[in-house]
Amino acid sequence: MLVRIPPETTESRAVQQRYGLRQRPAPSEMARKGATTMEVRGDGVAVITISNPPVNALSFDVLASFQRNYQEALRRNDVKAIVLTGAEGRFCGGFDINAFGNKPKNEKPGSLSIDFLTDIVEDAHKPSVAAIDGIALGGGLEVAMVCHARISTPSAQLGLPELQLGIIPGMGGTQRLPRLVGMSKALEMMLMSKSIKGVEAHKLGLVDAIVSANELVNTACSWALEIAEHKRPWFKSLHRTDKLPDLQEAKEILKISRVKAQKQAANLQHPLVCIDVIEAGVLSGPRAGLMKEVVSGKMLEQSQTSKSLRHVFFAQRATSKIPEVTNLGLTPRRILKAAIVGGGLMGSGIATALVLNNMFVILKEVNEKFLDAGINRVKANLQSFVKRGRMTKDDYEKKLSLLSGVLDYEQFRDADVVIEAVIEDILLKQKIFSDLERYCHSNCIIATNTSTIDLQLIGQKTSCQDRIIGAHFFSPAHVMPLLEIVRTQHTSSQVIVDLLDLAKKIRKTPIVVGNCTGFAVNRMFFPYGQVAGLLVDYGLDVYRIDHVITQFGMPMGPFRLADLVGFGVAVATRKQYYQSFPERCYKSMLTDIMLKDKRTGESSGRGYYLYDDKRKASPDPDIQKYVEKSRNMAGVAKDPKVMKLTDSDIVEMVFFPVVNEACRVLDEGIALKASDLDVASIMGMGFPSYRGGVMFWADSLGAEYVFKRLEAWSKDYGEFFRPCEYLAARARQGASLIATADGAKSRL
Ligand SMILES: C[C@H](O)CC(=O)SCCNC(=O)CCNC(=O)[C@H](O)C(C)(C)COP(=O)(O)OP(=O)(O)OC[C@H]1O[C@@H](n2cnc3c(N)ncnc32)[C@H](O)[C@@H]1OP(=O)(O)O
């Protein structure tokens, strides 16, 4: 596969600035801010405070200033001990993620981790204590572990989440954490990027004492002085061995971890590298481990996986920044009570998501039978958390008590938001919206969970269009992390801000999009299913396609997904797409043929796969007869070129049409920025996050390459593949897909 990584151009940056999309300065500027301050107290403790809002990240400036302060504290005769803390109740969120790739080129490997932190701070003749409140993540915890003791607040969050960014813990994290909490726990925390609270950290020995935020710095100062006076042990984490297992056991733990890591993410190298680095420290000593950590860390930082995951980190945070909306200074209104119309799969899932996050919910259905079914679905959803040990029985009862079922709109009068989640029937939705306008108060937000229908049509018979908005959840709504917020040109900024806040409260990542058939996520999804049908008609095997797409990193292939969603839903939504975009559809008859034979997908036990009573899927040799019929109906023959496609060709043929549609969505102004579509593809479609999302991934291959391939396929297999003008323009200019073209329309 051709891999070219076009850097973000000055031009693309300028264009984004003009559209108000770039709210963060360039990475190199970001990495140069913040500082530490030092105050020497009367008792002889130098308190060094990291100050770099909002999370006190370790930028180059912070690190340089930290080193200066530290050297000064060691030099000064009036300083007996040192306390390290963070400003504004946050210890440190780790190394500045903007600074990766901008590190000074001629920096000696290990100068920070070994020469300074290990040889100067940890080996110093004056003790240091970390005073931890809020967060000690990544580099934050690593610096704290270099100190000779750690005092924390009970709720502080401690962890080494670097693997989430495609790198491994640096600054000695891979060596010190196993020595402080034991190898199994350290591996769990690192490989799962799992943080722990202060209380647990205390039990594990990662922190030495728990105190309230008010007492934190004073306690840390006393502790540091007591170490200096030898009233408390002067531990150097790197040299502790009491928590390490013997060599044989250590090898066994590492072996099991390798198997698990490979099973969880076969395409990822960095978890295995992390295990290798930990192993090096156990087999050859911590110093060798530190050196391997430096070398491996440098290599991983350059990897495409890390670049992709770092992009996703910022892209996720950028989705809730909407120019001319979130910068207007509007305060989100309190949403305490929500009402849901329709207790089907979506309605009950949404109700579950809301009560899980402590909101009062009224669920409305048309009769007792449907209402009972809806409430039972919510109960089953909540019970699944209890079964998995993620909720106590008490909590279950508490959450359930927030839900009440109704058959009319009486109790809607004091609802702050209503979410309509009935079947996709325009007339029914119009009637419901008229009723809602009558019953709800004049500030109530009126949202619809439609996945395809134009919002203007739904609200046509009301005079409250400024309060109408789409809240498109993905099934199962209490599990899927994405919320597509659809706005029309009438939706008020206040209502958008309210919904963004609601998304945050129920722990969903929002993307704000414009109004059209399928909005952003389903628009990208349509070509995914269609191209699979096309490839099968032209001779590719159903199960090979699914296998290749799963290997690429999708949770399942397009056919297994169609089975899961159910053919009925697929056919209904497809119709909307055919109507709106007839010029670029490939109409495979495969699903319709199978539907006629009562194969409807997983729910009926028979779809593209056969399902046993445990819902385990196995291929069905009979599928061939449906494929042949579909091929005949399409009037196409097996194509030798298609049958010879390599795995990487198949991946490109399946995903380039998705990229093409994403470009249209961006060009039409349905999505605000390419990175929103990256987040949407990851959270709504399951596109592998370590590839950065569809647009980032396509950019890594180059717009010109994507364009040329689509153009060649469109000659052989028709309009479905024709590259759109946005993509063509990017290819001509040699620009990246993330740069919004001049004159882009906006529906936002
Ligand atoms: C050498 C080392 O081994 C390498 C490292 O340390 S790599 C870094 C390891 N640290 C991490 O992975 C932590 C990443 N951050 C987080 O998980 C979360 O931001 C947090 C738990 C610290 C705070 O969460 P929350 O309060 O919800 O705020 P959140 O919106 O995520 O972040 C606030 C802002 O800080 C920024 N930020 C957070 N952590 C950052 C970091 N480590 N570097 C740079 N910026 C960071 C975010 O981008 C965001 O910026 P924005 O306001 O411009 O969008």
What counts of helices (H) and strands (E) characterise the chain? Answer: 30, 19
Asked if the structure places residue 324 within a domain, the reply is: no
Distances (CA, A) of 417 to 268, 355, 413, 469: 42, 14, 10, 11
Atom of ligand 1 nearest to the CA of 318: 54
Asked if the structure places residue 745 within a domain, the reply is: no
Asked if 549 and 645 count as a contact pair (C-beta separation under 8 A), the reply is no
Burial code (b: 16+ CB inside 10 Å, e: under 16) for 273-305 equals bbbbbbbbbbeeebeebbbbbbebbeebbebbb
The answer to whether residues 584 and 728 belong to one domain is: yes
Residues with Cβ within 8 Å of 199's Cβ and at least 6 positions away in sequence, in order, are 154, 155, 210
Atom of ligand 1 nearest to the CA of 170: 3
Which among 148, 143, 190 has a CA at the least distance from the CA of 171?
A: 143
Residue 94 beta carbon below 6 angstroms from any ligand 1 atom: yes
Residue among 30, 55, 98, 501 to mutate when testing ligand 1 (max atoms within 8 A of CB): 55
Does residue 555 have a cis peptide bond before it, meaning omega lies within 30 degrees of 0? Answer: no
Asked if 483 and 317 count as a contact pair (C-beta separation under 8 A), the reply is no
State in Å: Cα 211 to ligand 1 middle: 25
Distances (CA, A) of 628 to 570, 593, 635, 681: 21, 11, 11, 32
Joined tokens for residue 486: 């659809």
Asked if the structure places residue 507 within a domain, the reply is: yes
Which among 530, 626, 621 has a CA at the least distance from the CA of 577?
A: 530
Per DSSP, the three-state class of 35 is strand
Asked if 519 and 486 count as a contact pair (C-beta separation under 8 A), the reply is yes
Q: 592, exposed or middle or buried, with CB in 10 Å at 0-12, 13-18, 19+?
A: middle
The answer to whether residues 204 and 279 belong to one domain is: yes
Residue 161 beta carbon below 6 angstroms from any ligand 1 atom: yes
Residues of the chain with pLDDT under 50: 1-24, 741-744, 746-747
The answer to whether residues 277 and 424 belong to one domain is: no
- Kindly state the helix (H) or strand (E) to which residue 405 belongs, with its residue range: strand 403-406
Give the closest residue (by CA) to ligand 1 atom 29: 317
Q: Name the one residue in this structure whose structure tokens are 């939705």.
A: 429
Q: Which CATH number covers residue 594?
A: 1.10.1040.50
Which among 179, 475, 168, 200 has a CA at the least distance from the CA of 294?
A: 168
Residue 59 beta carbon below 6 angstroms from any ligand 1 atom: no
Q: 246, exposed or middle or buried, with CB in 10 Å at 0-12, 13-18, 19+?
A: exposed
The answer to whether residues 453 and 599 belong to one domain is: no
Give the closest residue (by CA) to ligand 1 atom 54: 317
- pLDDT value of residue 104: 73
The answer to whether residues 157 and 227 belong to one domain is: yes
Burial code (b: 16+ CB inside 10 Å, e: under 16) for 534-571 equals bbbbbbbbbbebbbbbeebbbeebbbbbbbbbbbebbe
- pLDDT value of residue 28: 52
The answer to whether residues 41 and 185 belong to one domain is: yes
Catalytically annotated residue among 142, 293, 484, 602? 142
Catalytically annotated residue among 8, 88, 162, 420? 162
Domain boundary among 459, 485, 513: 513
Give the closest residue (by CA) to ligand 1 atom 38: 55
Helix axes 173-181, 183-191, angle to 10 degrees: 130
The answer to whether residues 556 and 659 belong to one domain is: yes
The answer to whether residues 167 and 93 belong to one domain is: yes
Asked if the structure places residue 260 within a domain, the reply is: yes
Give the closest residue (by CA) to ligand 1 atom 50: 317
Q: 623, exposed or middle or buried, with CB in 10 Å at 0-12, 13-18, 19+?
A: buried
Residue 86 beta carbon below 6 angstroms from any ligand 1 atom: no
Q: Which domain holds residue 197?
A: 27-311
Residue among 32, 92, 97, 504 to mutate when testing ligand 1 (max atoms within 8 A of CB): 97
- Kindly state the helix (H) or strand (E) to which residue 486 belongs, with its residue range: strand 482-486
Asked if the structure places residue 496 within a domain, the reply is: yes
- pLDDT value of residue 654: 98
State in Å: Cα 162 to ligand 1 middle: 11
Domain boundary among 484, 513, 542: 513
Per DSSP, the three-state class of 546 is helix
Catalytic, 661? Answer no
Please tell me whether the overall predicted TM-score, pTM, comes out greater than 0.90 for this model.
yes
Atom of ligand 1 nearest to the CA of 161: 12
State in Å: Cα 55 to ligand 1 middle: 6
Give the closest residue (by CA) to ligand 1 atom 48: 314
- pLDDT value of residue 557: 97
Asked if the structure places residue 135 within a domain, the reply is: yes
Catalytic, 226? Answer no
Half-sphere exposure of 746 toward its Cβ, with a 13 Å CA cutoff?
14
Phi/psi at 534 (5° precision): -60, -45
The answer to whether residues 169 and 211 belong to one domain is: yes
State in Å: Cα 7 to ligand 1 middle: 23
Note the pLDDT tens digit of each residue in 186-209: 999 999 999 999 999 999 999 999
The answer to whether residues 226 and 265 belong to one domain is: yes
Residue 91 beta carbon below 6 angstroms from any ligand 1 atom: no
Please state the domain count of the chain. Answer: 3
The answer to whether residues 278 and 349 belong to one domain is: no
Q: Name the one residue in this structure whose structure tokens are 């710095």.
A: 217
- pLDDT value of residue 29: 55
Cα(303)–Cα(271) distance, integer angstroms: 13
Residue 24 beta carbon below 6 angstroms from any ligand 1 atom: yes
Q: 609, exposed or middle or buried, with CB in 10 Å at 0-12, 13-18, 19+?
A: buried
Cα(191)–Cα(270) distance, integer angstroms: 10
Residue 300 beta carbon below 6 angstroms from any ligand 1 atom: no
State in Å: Cα 93 to ligand 1 middle: 6
Q: Where are the alpha helices (DSSP H) in 230-367?
A: 247-264, 270-284, 286-301, 304-318, 345-356
Phi/psi at 137 (5° precision): -120, 145
Phi/psi at 199 (5° precision): -60, -45
Domain boundary among 311, 345, 361: 311
State in Å: Cα 97 to ligand 1 middle: 7
Asked if the structure places residue 435 within a domain, the reply is: yes
Asked if the structure places residue 147 within a domain, the reply is: yes
Residue 97 beta carbon below 6 angstroms from any ligand 1 atom: yes
Distances (CA, A) of 281 to 288, 299, 300: 6, 18, 18
Q: Which CATH number covers residue 169?
A: 3.90.226.10
Residue 169 beta carbon below 6 angstroms from any ligand 1 atom: yes
Task: Sheet containing 209-210: give its strands across.
Answer: 35-40, 45-51, 81-86, 128-132, 149-152, 209-210
Residue 159 beta carbon below 6 angstroms from any ligand 1 atom: no
> For the chain, how big is the Rg over CA atoms in Å?
28
Cα(711)–Cα(725) distance, integer angstroms: 12
Residue 165 beta carbon below 6 angstroms from any ligand 1 atom: yes
Give the closest residue (by CA) to ligand 1 atom 18: 93
The answer to whether residues 594 and 632 belong to one domain is: yes
Which among 414, 436, 413, 416 has a CA at the least distance from the CA of 342?
A: 436
Q: Which CATH number covers residue 486?
A: 3.40.50.720
Q: Terminus-to-terminus CA distance in the chain, angstroms?
A: 36
Give the closest residue (by CA) to ligand 1 atom 2: 139
Measured at the alpha carbon of residue 370, what is the angle toward residues 368 and 376, in degrees to the nearest 5? 100
State in Å: Cα 188 to ligand 1 middle: 21
Atom of ligand 1 nearest to the CA of 193: 12
Residues with Cβ within 8 Å of 746's Cβ and at least 6 positions away in sequence, in order, are 514, 669, 672
